[in-house]
Amino acid sequence: MPMTRILAFSDLAWGTRERGSSGDRGVDETSYLRLVDDIDPQIVVFAGDAAYDRCSRSGLDETELFLGLLWQIAAAEKHCIVVEGNNDDTFGTYGRVREAAEANPCLHEVSGEACVVGGIRFLGIPTGKERKMAESTHEAVDIAVAHAPLANRVWLFDLPAGASSPATTG
């Protein structure tokens, strides 16, 4: 299996002050795009809490910001793997993320399911489903993308591991 560079994010903090910045500069899509450009991954993983308008303190339309980020990454022909977090608005704005994934072959919303991208099998595990998915998943998983509280992570060790070569860093 060829080496694949993957960049992962979780708990995007839209509107908060960017570390090391002066003034009132808040975290926005350019903050994340700068990292994507610098690291140049083939796949970008978002492991939850990226589009959480329901409990946002920023006053921003965080789902819209997240969608803009996804579209820009996809426009560069990089794949995005997305799993829903416990603070993402399941019954509200998060549906727009699912719709975007249906409309773009580079966007993959994998909450509760698996997909293969670049020869890597990703399994999306939403919060609260760790045990159920560990018990019901029978195919090998290369990468589990989970937004799991610490107490629930133990179930992720029960997932069948992929038979691919050991991961390399670079």
pLDDT of residue 166: 47
Q: What is the pTM of this model?
A: 0.81
pLDDT of residue 91: 60
Between these two residues, 158 and 32, which has the higher pLDDT value? 32
Cα dihedral 107, 37, 162, 122 in deg (nearest 10) = -20
Between these two residues, 37 and 147, which has the higher pLDDT value? 37
Query: Which one, of 80, 98, 81, 82, lies nearest residue 90 by Cα?
Result: 98
Average pLDDT, integer, range 6-14: 83
Could you tell me the CA-to-CA distances from 112 to 15, 64, 146, 156 in Å, in that order?
29, 23, 10, 13
Q: Does residue 58 carry a pLDDT above 60?
A: no
> Is residue 137 packed enough to be buried (19+ CB in 10 Å), middle (13-18) or exposed (0-12)?
middle
Average pLDDT, integer, range 23-45: 81
- In order of their start, the domains of the chain are 6-158 (3.60.21)
Q: What confidence category does residue 134 fall into, taking pLDDT thresholds of 50, 70 and 90?
A: confident
165: number of Cβ within 10 Å: 8
Average pLDDT, integer, range 86-112: 86
Q: Does residue 81 carry a pLDDT above 80?
A: yes
Q: Does residue 163 carry a pLDDT above 90?
A: no
Query: Which one, of 137, 54, 66, 143, lies nearest residue 98 by Cα?
Result: 66
